[in-house]
Amino acid sequence: MAFYFSTDFNLRQLMVWLMGSLSGMRLEHVAILLITLPCIALLWRYGQKLDQLMLGDQQAQQLGLDTHRLRWQLIVLVSILVGVSVATAGVIGFIGLIVPHYLRLWLGSRNSYLLPMSALAGALLLVCADTIGRLIIPSAELPVGVVTSVIGAPLFIWMLVRVG
């Protein structure tokens, strides 16, 4: 219903947000993104607990882990991270799909390494995709979500074929 009553400008802004873009980033957005740093640090501290949780609920509980509480803490942290990221840059799904799984193939499944490396590699992929989107067509800008989809879809298919 909101689409029906929107102006042309608002519809264009919505399409840019849905495809993901860093073109509208301002200093205020960077300040908002600083919220993610303590969340990433907390997730990094949960690395060993996540490794225990990967063993299964019963084994993790036998190791003294409160799995119910841990899951809720992780849901809150990840919700903050995803909410802040999507609110500022739009929907850019392939970074979250490709980067952690690709790194898991290289680094293994130890979360104390995988979590910070995923954050760094995801940020690097986002900056590279944004740069490619700005340079590939001189008179226009491809949304970063389009570029990550073009990069991510073949990698995702390759990973599915390799692992499957």
| DSSP conformation letters of 110-128 | -HHHHHHHHHHHHHHHHHH
pLDDT at 100 over 80: yes
Classify the phi-psi angles of 25: left when phi > 0, otherwise alpha if psi is within -120 to 50, otherwise beta.
beta
Number of folded domains in the chain?
A: 2
Residues 6+ apart with CB under 8 A from 9: none
Are 56 and 97 found together in one domain?
Answer: no
Are 164 and 109 found together in one domain?
Answer: yes
In a domain, 85, yes or no: yes
Domain stops at, among 47, 72, 90 = 90
The residue segments making up the domain with residue 117 are 92-164
Domain stops at, among 62, 90, 118 = 90
Q: What is the pLDDT of residue 59?
A: 94
51 alpha-carbon distance from chain centroid? 20
Q: What is the pLDDT of residue 31?
A: 81
Check: CB of residue 162 under 8 Å from CB of residue 104. no
Residues 6+ apart with CB under 8 A from 111: 46, 47, 48, 50, 51, 54
Q: What is the pLDDT of residue 56?
A: 92
In a domain, 15, yes or no: no
Q: What is the mean pLDDT of the chain?
A: 85
Are 129 and 157 found together in one domain?
Answer: yes
In a domain, 59, yes or no: yes
Are 86 and 96 found together in one domain?
Answer: no
Are 71 and 96 found together in one domain?
Answer: no
pLDDT at 1 over 70: no
| Pairwise CA distance, residues 46 & 81, whole Å | 15
In a domain, 55, yes or no: yes
Are 129 and 99 found together in one domain?
Answer: yes
- The whole-model pTM stands at 0.81
